[in-house]
Structure 1
Amino acid sequence: MDQSAPDLGFVHRKLNDTHIYFLVNTGPQRLRTRARFAGDNGKGAWWDALAGDRAGAGTGEIAIDLAPYQTRFLVFGNDTPRLQIADADMRQVLDLSQGWVAKAERDRGEPPLPGHSWTRDPAFAHYSRSVTYSRTIDLPEQPAAGERLMLDLGDDRPVPIQSPNPDRPQAELDAPVRDAAIVRVNGTEVGAIWAPPWRLDVTPMLRHGANRIELVVMNSALNALAAQPPADFRLLSMRFGERFKNQDQQLIHARPAGLLGQIRLISTNQE
């Protein structure tokens, strides 16, 4: 390894003539390094189980690039994808932070637009359902050969936990999506965004000219639960005895929800 990476973890398994590495970034910061691997036969391939993608990884000192808490497989076998990911930064094609129309379920009214938490509006402070954000974008030309267009929902940021509990680990991360988004392009569901790096390849669904984008964002049930009074178990305890105690009741409060980051269409090339 060319530099220390204490947050990099891995598991190695050998199956006949194939070496499989499961790599994980266990920290809240992006991890970039290079390393050599036992079993490197010159046919390394990255497998992304979340996106369902495979790409050539090269050989020798292999570049490792993992978003916070991201995992990937590195496989050395006899089947190497032709696709090679170019070692280049992504560039912005369109800033999509503005121009959205937001619609909540059951005609509840208009929720806060992207960039603002639902909890900013008292009417949505305890809303635990979905909001659909929609807009049309204009693509001046088809993607070039080898170009991939990604819908990016923003950057996360590390947030230290004030009183960590080893029995209840949690990600030290403030996410730009709270808590998950289903992506539709021109009426077709492309996939979901719910984990770093908070982006999705939408290239196959885009066309020259107008394109309709829909993001169906859902949060957890915690916000609705926070509006309820604490459960009263006195009658049950009088009849059966105190069998348990509710724990962490002080943690039940409305959490940020919706799209909180900068939304962009970004481009990366493959070779």
Structure 2
Amino acid sequence: MLPETLEKIHSLITQGAIVIGTPPAEIATLSGGREAEQQFKIAVNTLWGKGTAPVRSIGKGRLYRDDLLAALQQEHITPDVQVSDTAVHWLHRQTADADIYFFSLNQGKAFRGPITFRSEGYAEIWDPLTGSTKALGSNKRSAGDSISVDLDAGSSQFVVFRKEPHKLAEPVKKLITETALNKGWEVSFPQGWGFSSPVRIDSLAPWFTFGTNPESQHFSGTATYKRQLTIHPQPRAAYILDLGEVEAIAKVNINGKEVDTKWTYPYRVDISSYLKEGNNELQISVTSTWFNRLVYDAGLPEDQRKTWTINGPDKGSALKKYGLLGPVMLRQY
């Protein structure tokens, strides 16, 4: 940090600012030589002193060391967001008519639970992938209210508090039924890549568990999952197909019609308008990267390989879990 920056921070605190931060260890410039280093040390000492007190009063303001929560409590400031899982990342920005929160979660595990907000207003959920918006009820939320947030691993969403209700926001529908679709699948692979016939499965698993020979165990490409779905669609009901975990891209077809392609979490598709009374044919085409096949080809003579790359994985590298991994659920709202 520059000594001029520290001096400006000192000026702001003297005028009443509340600042939280630890003393910098080194000057962030080579210019100025020893004179600048001395200026830096004086500025650090002026702000933080020689002790380790958690808070110092400077003029009209205060400087806290590094305990953000303790500083907020001592200043009687309610945290902007309170969430139990530290893996949930968030940002907050304001516009003239709304408070906008963006939440994201890395791959690994999902988060489902309450998040408490300091903002108030008419709450909505925005999907950053589709642009769809859903109102969380018609009542105005108060500061300190909690909202149940559902974040899949590797996904993100917006929570927005409007000062006035937005008429275009679709209300969130309540879950009515949930049906597991993890059994009864027929999986087809293209000819010439290790599989001689479709594979019938009653549990979802990575492709390398389906193979009966080294080539099929290293399959990469597109595999097609098919099964029958018997349903009696209800008027005005919404049917959402949740594929769970997919590695890596899934294209959904219902009764021969393409519904949607999903390439990231959440792998959910609204299939309401594609369903018919009685039997329906559900088809999901899953496409992987070439990694597993590259592992297999790395152990073959060059004239027998089907893939080539400049810098691929080594022979015997751990295989990636490709395929429709689920759990696959059909939810009626």
Q: Same fold (TM over 0.5)?
A: yes
Provide the residue aligned with 2:230 in structure 1.
138
Equivalent pair of 2:175/2:331 in contact (CA under 8 Å): no
1:46-57 counterparts in 2 under 5 A? 46-57=125-136
Q: Amino acid of the residue matched to residue 149 of structure 1?
A: Y
Post-superposition offset of 1:204? 1.9
Change (3 A) 1:193 1:251: farther
1:25-49 CA distances to partner (integer Å, 9 max, x unpaired)? 34733321132243x332x221112
Post-superposition offset of 1:103? 1.8
Provide the residue aligned with 2:286 in structure 1.
217
Post-superposition offset of 1:220? 1.2
TM-score when normalising by structure 1: 0.70
1:10-21 counterparts in 2 under 5 A? 10-21=90-101
1:1-271 counterparts in 2 under 5 A? 4-26=84-106, 28-31=108-111, 32-38=113-119, 40-42=120-122, 44-58=123-137, 59-60=141-142, 61=145, 62-77=147-162, 79-86=166-173, 91-93=177-179, 95-106=180-191, 108-114=195-201, 115-120=204-209, 121=211, 122=213, 123-139=215-231, 141-145=232-236, 147-154=237-244, 176-229=245-298, 249=314, 252-267=317-332, 269=333
1:66-88 CA distances to partner (integer Å, 9 max, x unpaired)? 222320012334534453224x5
User: Unaligned stretches of 5+ in structure 1?
Assistant: 155-175, 231-245
User: Unaligned stretches of 5+ in structure 2?
Assistant: 1-80, 300-310
Equivalent pair of 2:104/2:157 in contact (CA under 8 Å): yes
TM-score when normalising by structure 2: 0.58
- With 25-34 and 220-229 compared, the bigger mean Cα shift is at 25-34
Residues in 2 aligned to 1:186 and 1:52: alpha-carbon distance in whole angstroms: 27
Greater relative CO, 1 or 2 (CA 8 Å, sep 6+): 1
Post-superposition offset of 1:116? 3.3
Change (3 A) 1:57 1:80: farther
Residues in 2 aligned to 1:209 and 1:51: alpha-carbon distance in whole angstroms: 30
Equivalent pair of 1:177/1:259 in contact (CA under 8 Å): yes
Q: Amino acid of the residue matched to residue 119 of structure 1?
A: F
How many residues of Structure 1 are paired with residues of Structure 2 in the alignment? 228
Equivalent pair of 2:295/2:316 in contact (CA under 8 Å): no
- With 248-257 and 27-36 compared, the bigger mean Cα shift is at 248-257
Post-superposition offset of 1:144? 4.1
Post-superposition offset of 1:64? 2.1
Post-superposition offset of 1:113? 4.1
Residues in 2 aligned to 1:129 and 1:248: alpha-carbon distance in whole angstroms: 17
Post-superposition offset of 1:216? 0.3
Residues in 1 aligned to 2:189 and 2:107: alpha-carbon distance in whole angstroms: 34
Calculate the aligned-residue CA RMSD, in Å: 3.1
Larger of the two Rg values belongs to structure:
2
Percent same amino acid at aligned positions? Answer: 24
Post-superposition offset of 1:218? 1.0
Residues in 2 aligned to 1:27 and 1:101: alpha-carbon distance in whole angstroms: 28
